[in-house]
Structure 1
Amino acid sequence: MSTRRASLYIRGSSLAKFHALLSGAAFFSALVVGCILHYKKIVKNDVAGWPEEWFPSVSATIGDWYPERNIFQLLIAINSGPRFILIAFGYLLNRQMFPLSTLPGFLSVVGVLRTLTCGGWVYITSSDNHDVHDVLMILYIVLNLPWMFGNIRLSRGRARRQRFWLSLLPMIYFFVQHKVYRVPGAYTRYAFFEWSLILFDILYDSVAIIDLGESGLEASTVHQCHLSRDSHLSATQPSDPGVSSVQSIKKSPEAHNRVETRPKVQSFRVIDLFVTYRPLLSFMSDLYFAYQAWTLLTGLPVTLFYFSIWKLALAGPEFSALATLSPLLLGFAPVQSFANSRVGRTALAGTAGVFGLGLWWVESMWIRLGAAIIGVFCTGIRWAVEWQADVGNGYHSVLFVLGFILSSLSKHLNHGNNPAWLIVDVASGRHVLILVLGFFALVELATRPESAFHASLAPTALDYLPSIPPKPWLFSSIALGALICSLHERLSDPSTLLAWSWSGFPTAGPHPHIHAPLTLLVQVLATLLALALSPPSPPTGSCTSSGLQKIPTHPLTFAIGVLSTYLLHTRTGWTGYAGGLVHAAFLTVITPLVLQNAGAAARSRGAGRVFGLAWAVWTVFLFVTTFTVAYAFVPGAWSFRERTDLVLAAQLALLAPSFSWRTLSVASTTALRPVPPLARRYIRASLALIAVAALVGPLRRSAPPTPVPVPAHARARILNAGIWAVHFGIDNAGRDSQRGMRDLFRDMDLDVVGLLETDLHRPVFGSRDLTRVAVEDLGYYVDIGPGPNKHTWGCVLLSKFPILKSHHHLLPSPEGELAPAIEAVIDVYGMNVTVIVAHNGQEETPLDRELQATELARIMSASYPDPLIFLGYVVTSPHAERPAPYDIMVRDGRVHDIDKDDLDRWCEYIFYRGLHRTAYARISRGSITDTELQVGQFAVPRYGKTTAEVAEADRYLRAWKEELPKEHWFPDAYYGDEHSGGVRGHFYHVFNTPLYYKLPPEPAL
């Protein structure tokens, strides 16, 4: 069969030139045409227009107006063919150069996805769907990361490809200035860097001109072709000369010779002027990624649970927790190979950061949930390959603990919120700073030389393996899952252990806002102990260890862990907290051991199996620990009701096989793996800095120090009291609501506040303390109510008046969720006033509500005739007869309704006695929660006086506000409605004004 030469061929280098020219023409023709025809329109944005904004963004230029939009899209469509052909050329060239590597195939897949996402943000413009356009643009930029660094390793043009990312830092900065702070002119400066990004992207792809020019690759059209490298390969077409030709790839002999003599491309190395400090930079990068990983893991449950608390049932997004099962993909060889490579590690860390942290500004909660899923998905794979490689080196297992403590510290310093969570907005977040640190960490990771202490992920790099047989994978896997859940549930915020042991006033134990640093200090000391128990270098000869090095695996250590868990669960005050501190030390010390056991099992049995099951165990515990309190709306969850004791016992039981039990047939690692000396030095220094920050950090304030609690209107002897169900501290937009609550408390001059649905010390709520912002910014005494081990939704009392004593009640709840109550006595201008904050059962459990109302009536009547204020969630209609709660509480509790004529109520009620009620207001919820804020204003009699005998007619002498002194007025700014007026969406509703009441005759004020 004869060979026919093609009558038409295109050199690969020529195709690359055409692609680069066409790309440039598409963008810059749109820029020129847009500036000529619609200049003022394309520079205008939602913040400002010309002249503050005077240079258009890429999105406005290519997507908003005819004809530039159409010109651009037409040229981009024409350019798609050359782009896909160049991807194929690159694959064939790199495959010939690196026949045993999986990188060429991976890069071809990334290249195709990169092209498709480019088409996505090109054809779905910001005017079509802003969120989708932004997400596709971000995904395109993320895919550039593996595309760039992968080609760096394979391409001669690698030195020209480093400048691509330099424009990202100022671009992100100015975008935040525009989007978040809404600074006029910021978008113009952002546009310059956005256009530079486009230019660098085009120049980046144009390096293919050099590569393809040196290779001699051509695209030819033939009827019958001969594709050869020294006549080794051939392909034929059908003999019919009329058959349409096909494309093939050929190399000239000259080009072939050049390729054969071309030196093999080695791993990319950055010429580092600070070689001496490179190990430190590598450690800081690894520490950042450990922090990022824990931030993403702890942020996923609180992001997905937003949907559950609005629906009060399983809403579907709960399946997002299965993103942690991503290590199962490591069972596939290509995924394993990619995840173990430098490019894979960089791509996974970058993708997790860009999505899981970088999309915090997106308004759509669904998009933020998707971003959290992507972040955790990538993190799970990256963690798995690190732990699998940590068999001969304990570096990553200790770093895992260090990142966890750092995450907990960041919450401690930021009012209980991790500053990089997706539920945190610009007011309480530090996303830009953290993302900038992440960018530098990514650059360091991508350009890192082999470190003296950093364990390579290549299997051949392991220089030490334990001589004992590997532990069966099942026990190691489930122990790891139980451990991660234990850490997450009880130690991811330093105040959680204090909430478990809190017992009220007078304080007989630690205070959640004062003693939280002790939890961090104990974790620091325990980590130092674990580090001291690990050998500084691999032992020689047999795998023996000293007695001290066996402490983490000794049965006595497990016994101490069991005892400390028992004290934490069953005791309060200092005894319970002391048990909690020992429990924290126990979990911290054994963490490196459990991780190393799982890594050893993964080494012999497969990472997908071992770590996939571990995360499955974590997922089960995540929901079970929630069902101990949130069982009423979940089918089958009743069996977990109030069984935290069984959950703790199960976690300990699953951890037990990690210890050296002579009676068990399974063997465990008898000592921690070595941590290299240089890494040990950096870890110790980091722990010391964390300890200092934990102690000193809360003392530093950019604003004045925490104010001393002082009533707003002490001279007039006024007490303003409010009740609010705050929906677990998540507002309607899925953001932390602490600052919105604080602002309304401040404007209404609230002296006493009852908050409901406040026990957030569970993973699904983010393990947060909802009182931190209000207490620190406004000055309140605080009683946080029954803790997580009491299985309630929680209630809180904030008071500007000293809390003399308090008692926590668990109200009768035979059919539904436990109802909490706080009974406190506060010193109000020298008079003892009892304040009760309570959250009763739901409409579905009438027996619970009747029994709870009866118990609350008993508590209120027991203090008669002393002054009292009840602030509660009752679930009853006004004046409802027994067995409904209203009549029981008012009549038997010997209290007055705040306003008996207000018939439009169902949940929240204010009752009182012994005080002069002077005003009553109902303020709409705004975007904070799903219920309103009710406020009652009271004038307090002087010592020795009483109002118990005031007739009802005298109590209901209504007044205009002008008839009362100005101290009694609520703010005028809150007059309005949902269309106009009000403040931050809050306004006086129902009556459209506060109700004011005349002071009764001879009020004895």
Structure 2
Amino acid sequence: MLVFSAAYVARTHTALSSAAFTIALALGLLYHYKKIVKNAVAGYPEEWFPSVSSTVGDWYPERNLFQLLIAFTSGPRITLLLLVYLLHSRAWDSNFPVAIFVSGILRTVACGGWVYITSYDDHDIHDFFMISYLVLNLPWMLGCVVCAPEQTRRKRFFVALIPLAYFYVQHQVYRIPGAYTRYSIFEWSLIVFDVWFDSFAEEEFRIAKLQISLGDRLLAKPAIDTNEPKVIPKPVEPAAPPTVGQDLAADSSKEETNSDLCSPSYRRSICVRLTTYIFWSIFTSLIPTLFYFSVWELGISGQEVALLSTLAPIFLSVSPLRSWAKSKGGDTTLHSLSLLGLAAFALDKPVHRLGVVSSATAIVMIKQVSSWTATDVEYQGILTGLGLLLSSLLKQANHSNNPVWPSVNAKSGGYNKTGIILAVMAIYEAHYQTPRTANPPQVQPEENKTSASGKVASSERHWLTAALPLGSLLFTLHALLSDSSTLISWSWTGYVNSRPQGPLPHLHGSLTLITQSMGLLLALSLISWNSIDVLAHPLWFCYGSASAAMLYTYRNWLGYTGGLNLAVFSMSIIPIVLKGASTAAGNTGQSTGKVYFTAMVVYCLLGLASIWTVAYAFVPGGVYLRERTDIVLILQMVCLSPAFRWPGLRPSIRLQRKDALTPALISYSRAALVCLSVASLLVTMYRTPAGFPQPFKPGPRILTAGIWTVHFGMDNQGRDSQRLITDVVRDMELDILGLLETDLHRIVFGNRDLTRVLVEDMGYYVDIGPGPAAHTWGAVLLSKFPIVNSTHHLLPSPHGELAPAIEAVLDIFGTHVTVVVSHNGQEEDPLDRELQSTELARIMAAAYPRPVLFLGYVVTEPHAPRPAPYDILVTDGRVFDIDQEDLDRWCEYILYRGMYRTSYARMSRGSITDTELQIGRFVLPPYGTTVVDESEEARYLRSFKEDLPEDHWFTMDYYEDRDQGKHGGVHYHVFGNPGTPLYYKIPAPL
């Protein structure tokens, strides 16, 4: 006879119904976002969230999958109604349970009505069943609340009906744009509440010990029979087989201090570290892959729903899946399936890559959480830190790009095939060389200890106090420590007296990796001394909080020092935070899904909050987090605080000596930390350019400058564009280059440094501009000439996005030239642009009579009168347009003063980015002299290139009729058919 708890019926119903709505919403947002948010009154962006009906009933494939899953839900739903009736009928000697049962049946029929008759099929019938469903919720829910036992008194959610009705009237009667979105939010909340309400039946069945036996007859009865029926014991979940990490720990304990590099345990140790690196590679690639769509839409695109794949640990609430995931076969299978995330690079379409990476992220999250709940959780914490360090090191070595990310391929600096081969070898080694039987150390729960008073000491962690620190820690590691140059970008401010005021990314990134290693080494040493609890002391938390405050408050070396201390703190607490989460999950693992699901929700919320601080202009409600990185940092530390031993509060679980790492594993881990630190230093030495940057044409005082908005370093196919940009810059011989939309040190952009290839391969001085704490999209100045001084400006922006600007003084052939690189606000905020242009004009005018070169994104038509930016910049800034007769421009402009302009070209964006490259070639007057004639007639002596020395010619390779351009289709355009550069005579002999 098969016997199982009736609670599984309720759990199955919850899982299927949740999956039906969640999958439909996810697919709808992914494939038909703008279609499902549109209604008879308005569309995107006024309406930005879809109703339930449009999501589940209008489009393929979400409609079909939803209806299929709802069909599967019908069986558990009817069974649940019968079980609820049986439970209520035993407690109530009346017809009241019958009335509840009938209302539940009618409610189910009404649900089927609006599910299978969509608004597209018959709007009136669909609405009738929908309204009937909402009305029948009242007797069903009220009846269940009255009959439910006191311990599981079900929640009431009827209050949501009031705003639902209000916003529906605002939409339907008054036809207010945006009202339907608010209606839809409350409509979805009712769906969530309905599913949540029915999920309480699981607890009711468990308390009543209601069981179902299948054999000669079908029997379902609660174990509260007055005749003392035979109680069938609840099946005990079998102990999970040891994971690969546990096998390794057990095997290495036999070897003691043997650190032979050829030993099987050492090889397996390397393999396990490599698989942890795979986790970080896939995990950190998800958000950049999905944010590609948000960048193109400049708002919510729908693909953001892929972020929900990080919540996959919720599936570990299912006992069989949890046990399988922890087994040797499950571990290997999950590892193998996760390689789909590495193989996604072979797909050309960004949406296809996103689908594969999302699936791989869900798989790798289940795999990693299974490791984090193992008995050797301290070792898993060390492995997690080592995997992060390896990921950061390989990014440092590969120009700030993880070589196995799906956003890179062989052309953009990827080593994807090599990574997959190494990963397969690691999985093979970890599986086939791991002993099939092992005796991993068992956790001795501290709650079983007896105190001197004879009472049992309890230190069981509440699941929420364990989940909050884990989510915050994962976000901190990802946002600040997944790239060696991120902390540097937070503190960078520019140059003074030809010297950088703070650390440079390509020179000092190794310091970040070394301090991360020190933090992990501290945890490793304390574990080996059985003193890891020192790191759970509140004073250590105060040290971490002070470090975060120093990072946010100060700049240059002092701010970077705060970041380094925060790196030590964050890496050192990985084992205790993972231990706390593992302990809260419990020995049986019943809370595993709840703990790690909540942790990932915290991670996602912090991630979104960090994006909202700069993307506030493009997201609903973003104004509340505008420029408030301080709030995000405070939330990070507040969420971390429950991991520490605060006086008067229930202490956290202590790490037992028998849980500590074996001497062999300690030796291997220390060796790995040393190797990673040394390798980081070697990478820096190898990547540092030899000698000083030299201009392309050092003799005739010629300089070539360009301005390019590079769209966050992503090309039109969602690949990293650094190398394509470098190829064009090299061909055009740009001595001075302004790049815009370059602050990539956020999780949405992969924490990358867009200047790394140009600096390390071509040799430039670099000012990376305002960093993440400045809340701009970023600006960069690259120069072949020494940067004497540079100042970062945040231009006035009362309404729209913050506008960054770099004001730098360059030593060009002995002459000081002021160069300004800026990114003004968008056309939606005219007052912002006026104020920003006024400030830029003031900066350029203040430099008079020094030569000036302006490279900026302005958003104005040529010759537009005030308050448009053009006249303000040219007149008040005392500069000249590079060609005032070029009337086809809108956003990018080159302005100059005190130089002779000889060549000007505009180059199509090709597939590299979404904005053209503008370049100009100039000649400085002889040292000690100035421009002789700045009249309009002198400035517009047009010429053929053949009448000028070849030093002033632009390369012929980018004419459109020559194989349609180069490097992704870039070619000259605008000034001819095909496009050609413009050339100008010099009005006076030099």
Q: What is the TM-score with the length of structure 2 in the denominator?
A: 0.70
| Residue 464 (structure 2) aligned to one of 465, 468, 474 | 474
- Contact 1:970-1:994 within 8 A present in 2 as well: no
> What aligned pairs does 1:962-977 form with structure 2 within 5 A after superposition?
962-976=946-960
How far apart are residue 470 of structure 1 and its match?
Answer: 2.1
- Contact 1:406-1:690 within 8 A present in 2 as well: yes
In 1: Cα distance, 2:526 partner to 2:326 partner: 29
1:628 equivalenced with 2:613 (yes/no):
yes
Per-residue displacement from partner, 1:970-998 (whole Å, max 9, x unpaired)? 01111115973555401110114444444
User: Could you say which residue in structure 1 is the equivalent of 2:403?
Assistant: 419
- Contact 2:727-2:967 within 8 A present in 1 as well: no
1:589 equivalenced with 2:572 (yes/no):
yes
1:580 equivalenced with 2:573 (yes/no):
no
User: Could you say which residue in structure 2 is the equivalent of 1:246?
Assistant: none
1:832 equivalenced with 2:816 (yes/no):
yes
Cα gap change, 1:319 to 1:669, in 2 (>3 Å): farther
1:785 aligned partner, one-letter code = G
> What aligned pairs does 1:615-694 form with structure 2 within 5 A after superposition?
615-665=600-650, 667-669=652-654, 673-694=659-680
For structure 1, which runs of at least 5 residues remain unmatched after alignment?
Answer: 1-232, 235-265, 537-544
How far apart are residue 949 of structure 1 and its match?
Answer: 4.4
SS of the residue 1:629 aligns to: helix
1:282 aligned partner, one-letter code = R
How far apart are residue 1000 of structure 1 and its match?
Answer: 3.6
User: Could you say which residue in structure 1 is the equivalent of 2:322?
Assistant: 336
2:463 aligned partner, one-letter code = W
Moved segments of 4+, more than 6 Å:
266-270
SS of the residue 1:889 aligns to: helix
Cα gap change, 1:276 to 1:919, in 2 (>3 Å): closer
In 2: Cα distance, 1:666 partner to 1:614 partner: 20
How far apart are residue 328 of structure 1 and its match?
Answer: 0.4
2:856 aligned partner, one-letter code = G
How far apart are residue 282 of structure 1 and its match?
Answer: 1.6
User: Could you say which residue in structure 2 is the equivalent of 1:568?
Assistant: 551
Per-residue displacement from partner, 1:27-57 (whole Å, max 9, x unpaired)? xxxxxxxxxxxxxxxxxxxxxxxxxxxxxxx
2:490 aligned partner, one-letter code = W
- Contact 1:978-1:985 within 8 A present in 2 as well: no
Cα gap change, 1:275 to 1:715, in 2 (>3 Å): closer
SS of the residue 1:687 aligns to: helix
2:406 aligned partner, one-letter code = L
> What aligned pairs does 1:101-180 form with structure 2 within 5 A after superposition?
none
User: Could you say which residue in structure 2 is the equivalent of 1:742?
Assistant: 726
In 1: Cα distance, 2:650 partner to 2:669 partner: 35
- Contact 2:789-2:808 within 8 A present in 1 as well: yes
1:462 equivalenced with 2:448 (yes/no):
no
Per-residue displacement from partner, 1:234-256 (whole Å, max 9, x unpaired)? 9xxxxxxxxxxxxxxxxxxxxxx
Cα gap change, 1:669 to 1:891, in 2 (>3 Å): farther
How far apart are residue 316 of structure 1 and its match?
Answer: 1.1
How far apart are residue 281 of structure 1 and its match?
Answer: 1.9
- Contact 2:900-2:923 within 8 A present in 1 as well: yes
User: Could you say which residue in structure 2 is the equivalent of 1:323?
Assistant: 309
SS of the residue 1:985 aligns to: coil
1:518 aligned partner, one-letter code = L
In 2: Cα distance, 1:717 partner to 1:300 partner: 47
Per-residue displacement from partner, 1:148-176 (whole Å, max 9, x unpaired)? xxxxxxxxxxxxxxxxxxxxxxxxxxxxx
How far apart are residue 360 of structure 1 and its match?
Answer: 1.0
Per-residue displacement from partner, 1:465-498 (whole Å, max 9, x unpaired)? 4455221110110110011001100110010000
How far apart are residue 590 of structure 1 and its match?
Answer: 0.9
| Residue 529 (structure 1) aligned to one of 519, 522, 525 | 522
- Contact 1:751-1:801 within 8 A present in 2 as well: yes
- Contact 1:921-1:995 within 8 A present in 2 as well: yes
In 2: Cα distance, 1:455 partner to 1:622 partner: 40
> What aligned pairs does 1:185-204 form with structure 2 within 5 A after superposition?
none
Q: Cα RMSD between the aligned structures?
A: 2.5
- Contact 2:491-2:557 within 8 A present in 1 as well: yes
> What aligned pairs does 1:17-36 form with structure 2 within 5 A after superposition?
none
User: Could you say which residue in structure 1 is the equivalent of 2:711?
Assistant: 727
| Residue 432 (structure 2) aligned to one of 444, 447, 453 | 447
How far apart are residue 740 of structure 1 and its match?
Answer: 0.3
In 2: Cα distance, 1:987 partner to 1:931 partner: 13
SS of the residue 1:510 aligns to: coil
- Contact 1:958-1:995 within 8 A present in 2 as well: no
| Residue 511 (structure 1) aligned to one of 501, 504, 511 | 504
Greater displacement, 286-295 / 440-449: 440-449
1:721 aligned partner, one-letter code = A
- Contact 1:657-1:668 within 8 A present in 2 as well: no
Per-residue displacement from partner, 1:206-263 (whole Å, max 9, x unpaired)? xxxxxxxxxxxxxxxxxxxxxxxxxxx99xxxxxxxxxxxxxxxxxxxxxxxxxxxxx
Cα gap change, 1:447 to 1:819, in 2 (>3 Å): same
1:558 aligned partner, one-letter code = F
| Residue 373 (structure 1) aligned to one of 353, 358, 368 | 358
In 2: Cα distance, 1:668 partner to 1:849 partner: 56
Cα gap change, 1:969 to 1:1000, in 2 (>3 Å): closer
In 2: Cα distance, 1:533 partner to 1:801 partner: 50
SS of the residue 1:394 aligns to: helix
User: Could you say which residue in structure 2 is the equivalent of 1:90?
Assistant: none
1:294 equivalenced with 2:280 (yes/no):
yes
How far apart are residue 706 of structure 1 and its match?
Answer: 4.6
- Contact 1:926-1:986 within 8 A present in 2 as well: yes
Aligned residues: 721
User: Could you say which residue in structure 1 is the equivalent of 2:37?
Assistant: none
User: Could you say which residue in structure 2 is the equivalent of 1:312?
Assistant: 298
> What aligned pairs does 1:399-410 form with structure 2 within 5 A after superposition?
399-410=383-394
2:295 aligned partner, one-letter code = I
- Contact 2:724-2:967 within 8 A present in 1 as well: no
Cα gap change, 1:732 to 1:1002, in 2 (>3 Å): same
2:634 aligned partner, one-letter code = A
- Contact 1:720-1:751 within 8 A present in 2 as well: yes
Percent sequence identity is: 48
Per-residue displacement from partner, 1:367-413 (whole Å, max 9, x unpaired)? 211121121111111111111113x5511111111111111111111
1:989 aligned partner, one-letter code = H
How far apart are residue 464 of structure 1 and its match?
Answer: 3.9
2:930 aligned partner, one-letter code = T
SS of the residue 2:557 aligns to: helix
Cα gap change, 1:983 to 1:607, in 2 (>3 Å): closer
In 1: Cα distance, 2:380 partner to 2:677 partner: 21
In 1: Cα distance, 2:975 partner to 2:330 partner: 61
- Contact 1:279-1:451 within 8 A present in 2 as well: no
- Contact 1:389-1:455 within 8 A present in 2 as well: no
In 2: Cα distance, 1:948 partner to 1:659 partner: 71
Per-residue displacement from partner, 1:109-134 (whole Å, max 9, x unpaired)? xxxxxxxxxxxxxxxxxxxxxxxxxx
1:499 equivalenced with 2:492 (yes/no):
no
Q: What is the TM-score with the length of structure 1 in the denominator?
A: 0.69
How far apart are residue 276 of structure 1 and its match?
Answer: 7.1
2:398 aligned partner, one-letter code = N
User: Could you say which residue in structure 2 is the equivalent of 1:786?
Assistant: 770
> What aligned pairs does 1:707-856 form with structure 2 within 5 A after superposition?
708-856=692-840
How far apart are residue 334 of structure 1 and its match?
Answer: 2.2
User: Could you say which residue in structure 2 is the equivalent of 1:362?
Assistant: 347
How far apart are residue 562 of structure 1 and its match?
Answer: 1.1
Cα gap change, 1:927 to 1:276, in 2 (>3 Å): closer
In 2: Cα distance, 1:526 partner to 1:784 partner: 28
Per-residue displacement from partner, 1:45-93 (whole Å, max 9, x unpaired)? xxxxxxxxxxxxxxxxxxxxxxxxxxxxxxxxxxxxxxxxxxxxxxxxx
User: Could you say which residue in structure 2 is the equivalent of 1:603?
Assistant: 586
In 2: Cα distance, 1:760 partner to 1:978 partner: 34
- Contact 2:583-2:653 within 8 A present in 1 as well: no
| Residue 923 (structure 2) aligned to one of 912, 920, 939 | 939
Cα gap change, 1:880 to 1:328, in 2 (>3 Å): same
User: Could you say which residue in structure 1 is the equivalent of 2:892?
Assistant: 908
1:917 equivalenced with 2:907 (yes/no):
no
SS of the residue 1:806 aligns to: strand
1:305 aligned partner, one-letter code = F
- Contact 1:552-1:671 within 8 A present in 2 as well: no
How far apart are residue 449 of structure 1 and its match?
Answer: 3.1
